[in-house]
Protein backbone atom coordinates (compact mmCIF):
# COMPACT_ATOMS: atom_id res chain seq x y z
CA UNK A 1 0.00 0.00 0.00
CA UNK A 2 1.36 3.39 -0.94
CA UNK A 3 1.71 5.76 2.03
CA UNK A 4 1.69 9.44 1.17
CA UNK A 5 4.10 11.44 3.32
CA UNK A 6 3.09 15.07 3.51
CA UNK A 7 4.37 18.30 5.05
CA UNK A 8 4.44 19.44 8.66
CA UNK A 9 1.16 21.24 7.96
CA UNK A 10 -0.65 17.95 7.46
CA UNK A 11 0.82 16.55 10.68
CA UNK A 12 -0.17 19.64 12.67
CA UNK A 13 -3.69 19.39 11.26
CA UNK A 14 -3.85 15.78 12.46
CA UNK A 15 -2.63 16.85 15.92
CA UNK A 16 -5.31 19.52 16.06
CA UNK A 17 -8.02 17.01 15.13
CA UNK A 18 -6.86 14.69 17.91
CA UNK A 19 -6.94 17.57 20.41
CA UNK A 20 -10.25 18.99 19.25
CA UNK A 21 -13.23 18.89 21.58
CA UNK A 22 -16.03 16.87 19.89
CA UNK A 23 -19.01 18.87 18.67
CA UNK A 24 -21.33 17.10 21.09
CA UNK A 25 -19.28 18.42 24.03
CA UNK A 26 -19.76 22.00 22.84
CA UNK A 27 -23.47 21.29 22.35
CA UNK A 28 -23.63 19.69 25.79
CA UNK A 29 -22.03 22.74 27.41
CA UNK A 30 -24.39 25.10 25.57
CA UNK A 31 -27.41 23.04 26.62
CA UNK A 32 -26.22 23.16 30.24
CA UNK A 33 -25.90 26.92 30.57
CA UNK A 34 -29.04 27.46 28.47
CA UNK A 35 -30.91 25.18 30.88
CA UNK A 36 -29.56 27.13 33.85
CA UNK A 37 -30.65 30.38 32.19
CA UNK A 38 -34.20 29.07 31.80
CA UNK A 39 -34.19 28.04 35.45
CA UNK A 40 -33.12 31.50 36.60
CA UNK A 41 -35.90 33.06 34.50
CA UNK A 42 -38.67 30.75 35.71
CA UNK A 43 -41.63 32.34 37.48
CA UNK A 44 -40.56 31.22 40.96
CA UNK A 45 -36.95 32.40 40.55
CA UNK A 46 -35.64 34.68 43.30
CA UNK A 47 -33.29 36.43 40.85
CA UNK A 48 -35.60 36.73 37.82
CA UNK A 49 -36.27 40.40 38.58
CA UNK A 50 -32.55 41.15 38.07
CA UNK A 51 -32.58 39.93 34.43
CA UNK A 52 -29.96 37.15 34.71
CA UNK A 53 -27.96 36.33 31.60
CA UNK A 54 -25.94 33.11 31.49
CA UNK A 55 -23.09 32.81 29.01
CA UNK A 56 -19.92 30.86 28.40
CA UNK A 57 -16.42 32.26 28.88
CA UNK A 58 -12.86 31.00 28.61
CA UNK A 59 -11.51 28.44 26.17
CA UNK A 60 -14.92 27.04 25.22
CA UNK A 61 -16.01 30.50 24.11
CA UNK A 62 -12.71 31.15 22.30
CA UNK A 63 -12.72 27.78 20.54
CA UNK A 64 -9.32 26.85 22.04
CA UNK A 65 -10.46 24.12 24.45
CA UNK A 66 -8.62 20.80 24.16
CA UNK A 67 -9.56 17.26 25.09
CA UNK A 68 -8.46 16.00 28.51
CA UNK A 69 -5.57 13.55 28.49
CA UNK A 70 -7.86 10.68 29.49
CA UNK A 71 -11.55 9.89 29.90
CA UNK A 72 -11.00 10.05 33.66
CA UNK A 73 -10.41 13.83 33.42
CA UNK A 74 -13.15 16.42 33.02
CA UNK A 75 -13.80 19.39 30.79
CA UNK A 76 -13.92 22.65 32.73
CA UNK A 77 -16.76 24.77 31.34
CA UNK A 78 -16.53 28.36 32.61
CA UNK A 79 -19.72 30.42 32.67
CA UNK A 80 -21.00 33.73 33.97
CA UNK A 81 -24.36 34.67 35.44
CA UNK A 82 -24.63 38.41 34.92
CA UNK A 83 -27.52 40.01 36.77
CA UNK A 84 -28.01 42.90 34.38
CA UNK A 85 -30.50 44.89 36.46
CA UNK A 86 -28.39 44.79 39.61
CA UNK A 87 -25.55 47.14 40.58
CA UNK A 88 -22.69 47.17 43.07
CA UNK A 89 -24.69 49.72 45.07
CA UNK A 90 -27.43 47.16 45.67
CA UNK A 91 -25.51 44.19 47.06
CA UNK A 92 -22.14 43.24 48.47
CA UNK A 93 -20.12 40.57 46.68
CA UNK A 94 -21.01 38.14 49.48
CA UNK A 95 -24.72 38.90 49.21
CA UNK A 96 -24.73 38.49 45.44
CA UNK A 97 -22.91 35.18 45.61
CA UNK A 98 -25.14 33.83 48.39
CA UNK A 99 -28.29 34.91 46.55
CA UNK A 100 -27.23 33.17 43.35
CA UNK A 101 -26.01 30.18 45.36
CA UNK A 102 -29.55 29.54 46.61
CA UNK A 103 -30.75 29.26 43.02
CA UNK A 104 -27.80 27.06 41.98
CA UNK A 105 -28.55 24.62 44.80
CA UNK A 106 -32.27 24.63 43.89
CA UNK A 107 -31.37 23.94 40.25
CA UNK A 108 -29.05 21.13 41.33
CA UNK A 109 -31.85 19.52 43.36
CA UNK A 110 -34.49 19.99 40.67
CA UNK A 111 -32.23 18.29 38.11
CA UNK A 112 -31.55 15.42 40.54
CA UNK A 113 -27.81 15.96 40.29
CA UNK A 114 -25.92 13.60 42.59
CA UNK A 115 -22.65 15.37 43.33
CA UNK A 116 -23.04 18.31 45.74
CA UNK A 117 -22.68 21.94 44.71
CA UNK A 118 -19.21 23.22 45.52
CA UNK A 119 -18.08 26.78 46.24
CA UNK A 120 -14.94 28.22 44.69
CA UNK A 121 -13.31 31.54 45.49
CA UNK A 122 -15.09 33.28 42.62
CA UNK A 123 -17.77 30.82 41.60
CA UNK A 124 -20.22 28.05 42.29
CA UNK A 125 -19.33 24.67 40.79
CA UNK A 126 -21.81 22.18 39.38
CA UNK A 127 -20.42 18.67 38.92
CA UNK A 128 -22.36 16.75 36.30
CA UNK A 129 -22.78 12.97 36.17
CA UNK A 130 -19.66 10.91 35.44
CA UNK A 131 -20.80 10.18 31.89
CA UNK A 132 -21.05 13.89 31.10
CA UNK A 133 -17.32 14.32 31.85
CA UNK A 134 -17.49 17.99 32.74
CA UNK A 135 -18.18 20.45 35.51
CA UNK A 136 -19.38 24.02 35.20
CA UNK A 137 -17.92 26.97 37.09
CA UNK A 138 -20.59 29.66 37.52
CA UNK A 139 -19.28 33.16 38.29
CA UNK A 140 -21.81 35.71 39.67
CA UNK A 141 -21.46 39.15 38.08
CA UNK A 142 -23.05 42.57 37.61
CA UNK A 143 -22.52 45.08 34.78
CA UNK A 144 -19.52 47.40 35.06
CA UNK A 145 -19.32 49.13 31.68
CA UNK A 146 -19.74 52.72 32.91
CA UNK A 147 -17.06 52.52 35.60
CA UNK A 148 -14.73 50.59 33.30
CA UNK A 149 -15.06 53.21 30.58
CA UNK A 150 -14.32 56.03 33.04
CA UNK A 151 -11.28 54.26 34.50
CA UNK A 152 -9.73 53.52 31.11
CA UNK A 153 -10.41 56.88 29.50
CA UNK A 154 -9.09 58.70 32.58
CA UNK A 155 -5.80 56.86 32.02
CA UNK A 156 -5.89 57.53 28.25
CA UNK A 157 -6.20 53.79 27.56
CA UNK A 158 -8.16 51.91 24.93
CA UNK A 159 -11.81 51.69 26.10
CA UNK A 160 -13.39 50.24 22.96
CA UNK A 161 -14.23 46.94 24.69
CA UNK A 162 -15.66 48.49 27.87
CA UNK A 163 -19.33 48.09 26.92
CA UNK A 164 -19.29 44.43 28.00
CA UNK A 165 -17.26 44.85 31.20
CA UNK A 166 -18.50 43.18 34.37
CA UNK A 167 -17.66 43.07 38.07
CA UNK A 168 -17.35 39.65 39.70
CA UNK A 169 -17.26 38.16 43.20
CA UNK A 170 -14.15 36.86 44.95
CA UNK A 171 -14.25 35.82 48.60
CA UNK A 172 -10.51 36.47 48.92
CA UNK A 173 -11.05 40.21 48.46
CA UNK A 174 -10.93 42.42 51.60
CA UNK A 175 -14.11 44.22 50.44
CA UNK A 176 -16.04 40.99 49.90
CA UNK A 177 -18.60 41.76 52.63
CA UNK A 178 -18.60 45.54 52.25
CA UNK A 179 -20.98 47.59 50.11
CA UNK A 180 -18.56 49.30 47.73
CA UNK A 181 -17.79 49.97 44.08
CA UNK A 182 -14.42 48.29 44.49
CA UNK A 183 -15.04 44.82 43.04
CA UNK A 184 -12.78 42.62 40.91
CA UNK A 185 -13.13 43.49 37.21
CA UNK A 186 -13.53 41.17 34.25
CA UNK A 187 -14.66 41.28 30.63
CA UNK A 188 -14.95 37.79 29.09
CA UNK A 189 -17.21 38.98 26.27
CA UNK A 190 -14.83 41.82 25.44
CA UNK A 191 -11.82 39.48 25.46
CA UNK A 192 -13.64 37.03 23.19
CA UNK A 193 -14.53 39.88 20.82
CA UNK A 194 -10.91 41.06 20.77
CA UNK A 195 -9.69 37.51 20.10
CA UNK A 196 -12.25 37.15 17.29
CA UNK A 197 -11.04 40.43 15.78
CA UNK A 198 -7.52 39.00 15.49
CA UNK A 199 -8.77 36.23 13.19
CA UNK A 200 -11.99 37.67 11.73
CA UNK A 201 -10.88 37.64 8.09
CA UNK A 202 -9.72 34.02 8.14
CA UNK A 203 -12.70 32.89 10.24
CA UNK A 204 -15.24 34.36 7.83
CA UNK A 205 -13.46 32.88 4.85
CA UNK A 206 -13.33 29.40 6.40
CA UNK A 207 -16.95 29.61 7.47
CA UNK A 208 -18.02 30.39 3.89
CA UNK A 209 -16.00 27.45 2.54
CA UNK A 210 -17.61 25.04 5.00
CA UNK A 211 -21.11 26.35 4.29
CA UNK A 212 -20.58 26.11 0.52
CA UNK A 213 -19.41 22.52 0.93
CA UNK A 214 -22.42 21.62 3.08
CA UNK A 215 -24.82 23.24 0.62
CA UNK A 216 -23.34 21.29 -2.28
CA UNK A 217 -23.86 18.11 -0.28
CA UNK A 218 -27.45 19.12 0.47
CA UNK A 219 -26.77 19.13 4.21
CA UNK A 220 -27.89 22.75 4.75
CA UNK A 221 -30.29 25.02 2.93
CA UNK A 222 -29.27 28.08 0.97
CA UNK A 223 -30.94 30.24 3.62
CA UNK A 224 -28.46 29.19 6.30
CA UNK A 225 -25.88 31.95 6.52
CA UNK A 226 -23.86 31.03 9.60
CA UNK A 227 -22.50 28.04 11.43
CA UNK A 228 -21.99 27.64 15.17
CA UNK A 229 -18.57 29.12 15.88
CA UNK A 230 -17.23 25.84 17.30
CA UNK A 231 -17.62 24.18 13.89
CA UNK A 232 -14.99 26.51 12.39
CA UNK A 233 -11.35 26.16 13.41
CA UNK A 234 -8.86 28.83 12.39
CA UNK A 235 -5.06 28.47 12.26
CA UNK A 236 -4.82 30.74 15.31
CA UNK A 237 -7.13 28.55 17.39
CA UNK A 238 -5.39 25.39 16.19
CA UNK A 239 -1.92 26.71 17.00
CA UNK A 240 -2.98 27.74 20.51
CA UNK A 241 -4.55 24.32 21.13
CA UNK A 242 -1.31 22.60 20.13
CA UNK A 243 0.82 24.93 22.25
CA UNK A 244 -1.42 24.41 25.29
CA UNK A 245 -0.97 20.63 25.14
CA UNK A 246 2.82 21.07 24.67
CA UNK A 247 2.79 23.29 27.78
CA UNK A 248 0.67 20.82 29.76
CA UNK A 249 3.02 17.92 29.14
CA UNK A 250 6.19 19.92 29.73
CA UNK A 251 4.91 20.99 33.17
CA UNK A 252 3.02 17.79 34.05
CA UNK A 253 5.03 17.50 37.28
CA UNK A 254 5.15 21.23 38.01
CA UNK A 255 1.58 22.38 37.43
CA UNK A 256 2.04 25.54 39.50
CA UNK A 257 4.87 26.66 37.21
CA UNK A 258 3.21 26.19 33.84
CA UNK A 259 2.49 29.36 31.82
CA UNK A 260 -1.21 30.18 32.15
CA UNK A 261 -3.44 29.76 29.12
CA UNK A 262 -4.51 33.40 28.97
CA UNK A 263 -0.88 34.50 28.51
CA UNK A 264 -0.29 31.98 25.71
CA UNK A 265 -3.60 32.97 24.09
CA UNK A 266 -3.02 36.71 24.38
CA UNK A 267 0.57 36.70 23.13
CA UNK A 268 -0.37 34.22 20.41
CA UNK A 269 -3.23 36.38 19.16
CA UNK A 270 -0.97 39.46 19.15
CA UNK A 271 1.66 37.60 17.08
CA UNK A 272 -0.82 36.06 14.64
CA UNK A 273 -1.03 37.88 11.30
CA UNK A 274 -3.82 36.17 9.33
CA UNK A 275 -1.70 33.20 8.28
CA UNK A 276 -3.80 30.66 6.35
CA UNK A 277 -2.06 27.54 7.67
CA UNK A 278 -1.53 26.10 11.13
CA UNK A 279 2.20 25.90 10.47
CA UNK A 280 2.30 29.53 9.39
CA UNK A 281 0.38 30.63 12.48
CA UNK A 282 2.36 28.40 14.85
CA UNK A 283 5.79 29.54 13.71
CA UNK A 284 4.73 33.21 13.60
CA UNK A 285 3.53 32.87 17.19
CA UNK A 286 6.65 31.05 18.37
CA UNK A 287 8.90 33.58 16.65
CA UNK A 288 7.13 36.75 17.78
CA UNK A 289 5.02 36.15 20.89
CA UNK A 290 7.68 37.32 23.34
CA UNK A 291 7.91 40.65 21.49
CA UNK A 292 4.57 41.55 23.05
CA UNK A 293 5.80 41.14 26.62
CA UNK A 294 6.43 44.56 28.11
CA UNK A 295 9.20 45.23 30.63
CA UNK A 296 8.38 48.57 32.23
CA UNK A 297 9.44 50.07 35.55
CA UNK A 298 11.17 46.87 36.56
CA UNK A 299 7.99 44.83 36.01
CA UNK A 300 6.91 42.28 33.42
CA UNK A 301 3.57 43.12 31.82
CA UNK A 302 1.22 41.15 29.60
CA UNK A 303 -1.70 43.53 29.48
CA UNK A 304 -5.29 42.39 29.15
CA UNK A 305 -6.21 43.73 25.67
CA UNK A 306 -9.63 44.81 26.97
CA UNK A 307 -8.33 46.33 30.21
CA UNK A 308 -4.74 47.51 30.01
CA UNK A 309 -4.71 48.07 33.78
CA UNK A 310 -4.95 44.31 34.33
CA UNK A 311 -1.64 42.48 34.09
CA UNK A 312 -1.85 38.79 33.26
CA UNK A 313 1.83 38.45 34.23
CA UNK A 314 1.47 39.66 37.84
CA UNK A 315 2.73 36.31 39.13
CA UNK A 316 5.95 36.74 37.16
CA UNK A 317 6.76 39.79 39.24
CA UNK A 318 5.96 38.07 42.53
CA UNK A 319 7.93 34.96 41.60
CA UNK A 320 10.65 35.42 38.93
CA UNK A 321 10.79 31.63 38.49
CA UNK A 322 7.40 31.88 36.75
CA UNK A 323 8.92 34.11 34.07
CA UNK A 324 11.88 31.75 33.80
CA UNK A 325 9.44 28.86 33.32
CA UNK A 326 7.71 30.71 30.47
CA UNK A 327 11.04 31.43 28.80
CA UNK A 328 12.10 27.79 29.17
CA UNK A 329 8.82 26.61 27.68
CA UNK A 330 9.11 28.97 24.70
CA UNK A 331 12.69 27.85 24.00
CA UNK A 332 11.62 24.21 24.16
CA UNK A 333 8.58 24.75 21.93
CA UNK A 334 10.74 26.48 19.34
CA UNK A 335 13.24 23.63 19.39
CA UNK A 336 10.58 20.90 19.23
CA UNK A 337 8.50 22.34 16.41
CA UNK A 338 11.61 23.40 14.47
CA UNK A 339 12.81 19.79 14.61
CA UNK A 340 9.40 18.56 13.49
CA UNK A 341 9.36 21.00 10.57
CA UNK A 342 12.71 19.70 9.39
CA UNK A 343 11.59 16.06 9.52
CA UNK A 344 11.04 14.17 6.27
CA UNK A 345 8.45 11.64 7.49
CA UNK A 346 5.48 11.50 9.83
CA UNK A 347 7.47 9.11 12.02
CA UNK A 348 10.26 11.65 12.38
CA UNK A 349 7.75 14.43 13.08
CA UNK A 350 6.13 12.33 15.80
CA UNK A 351 9.51 11.44 17.29
CA UNK A 352 10.46 15.13 17.46
CA UNK A 353 7.26 16.01 19.32
CA UNK A 354 6.69 12.90 21.45
CA UNK A 355 8.45 14.13 24.62
CA UNK A 356 6.20 17.19 25.01
CA UNK A 357 3.09 16.49 22.89
CA UNK A 358 2.82 12.98 24.33
CA UNK A 359 3.51 9.61 22.74
CA UNK A 360 -0.15 8.53 22.53
CA UNK A 361 -1.28 11.80 20.92
CA UNK A 362 1.55 11.77 18.36
CA UNK A 363 0.86 8.13 17.50
CA UNK A 364 -2.87 8.80 17.02
CA UNK A 365 -2.07 11.74 14.75
CA UNK A 366 0.33 9.60 12.76
CA UNK A 367 -2.17 6.73 12.50
CA UNK A 368 -4.78 9.21 11.29
CA UNK A 369 -2.46 10.06 8.37
CA UNK A 370 -1.05 6.63 7.57
CA UNK A 371 -4.04 4.40 8.21
CA UNK A 372 -2.38 2.70 11.15
CA UNK A 373 0.92 2.30 12.92
CA UNK A 374 1.80 -0.86 10.98
CA UNK A 375 2.08 1.18 7.79
CA UNK A 376 4.77 3.45 9.22
CA UNK A 377 7.53 1.10 8.26
CA UNK A 378 6.75 1.84 4.63
CA UNK A 379 7.10 5.55 5.27
CA UNK A 380 10.29 5.53 7.35
CA UNK A 381 12.66 6.21 4.46
CA UNK A 382 10.33 8.31 2.33
CA UNK A 383 11.01 11.88 1.35
CA UNK A 384 8.80 14.83 2.23
CA UNK A 385 6.20 16.04 -0.21
CA UNK A 386 7.15 18.81 -2.58
CA UNK A 387 4.71 21.19 -0.89
CA UNK A 388 6.29 20.92 2.54
CA UNK A 389 6.44 24.04 4.65
CA UNK A 390 9.95 25.45 4.88
CA UNK A 391 11.57 24.88 8.25
CA UNK A 392 11.50 28.06 10.30
CA UNK A 393 14.39 29.69 12.07
CA UNK A 394 14.34 31.68 15.29
CA UNK A 395 16.79 34.53 15.45
CA UNK A 396 19.25 34.79 18.33
CA UNK A 397 19.26 38.58 18.19
CA UNK A 398 18.46 40.49 21.35
CA UNK A 399 14.72 41.03 21.75
CA UNK A 400 13.43 44.33 23.00
CA UNK A 401 9.84 44.06 24.31
CA UNK A 402 7.40 46.53 22.80
CA UNK A 403 4.09 47.85 24.07
CA UNK A 404 0.93 46.25 22.71
CA UNK A 405 -1.72 48.69 21.39
CA UNK A 406 -3.71 50.26 24.22
CA UNK A 407 -0.94 50.18 26.82
CA UNK A 408 0.39 53.49 28.07
Query: In the chain, where are the structural domains located?
Result: 23-196, 200-231
pLDDT at 325 over 60: yes
Give the pLDDT confidence of 123-141 residue by residue, as tens digits. Answer: 999 998 666 678 899 999 9
Q: What is the mean pLDDT of residues 146-153?
A: 96
Span of 27-36, 90-99, 154-163, 165-174 with lowest mean pLDDT: 27-36
pLDDT at 372: 64
What pLDDT was estimated at residue 232?
83
Q: Is the pLDDT of residue 107 over 90?
A: yes
CATH superfamily for 23-196 is Beta Polymerase, domain 2 (3.30.460.10)
Contact 140, 169 (CB under 8 A): yes
Evaluate if residue 399 carries a pLDDT over 90: no
**How would residue 226 be classed by pLDDT, with cut points 50, 70 and 90?**
low
From the number of C-beta atoms within 10 Å of its C-beta (0-12, 13-18, 19+), residue 231 rates as middle
Amino acid sequence: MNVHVNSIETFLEALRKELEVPDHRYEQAEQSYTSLGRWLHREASTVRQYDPQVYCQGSFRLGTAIRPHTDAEEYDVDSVVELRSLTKRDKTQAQLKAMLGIEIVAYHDAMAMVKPVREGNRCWILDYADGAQFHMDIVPAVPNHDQQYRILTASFLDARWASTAISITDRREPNYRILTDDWPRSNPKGYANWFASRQAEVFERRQRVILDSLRKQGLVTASVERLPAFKVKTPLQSAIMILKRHRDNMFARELDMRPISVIITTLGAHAYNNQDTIAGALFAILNDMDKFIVHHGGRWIVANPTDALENFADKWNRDPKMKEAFDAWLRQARADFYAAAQAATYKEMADALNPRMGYALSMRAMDRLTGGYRLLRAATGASAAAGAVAAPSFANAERRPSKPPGYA
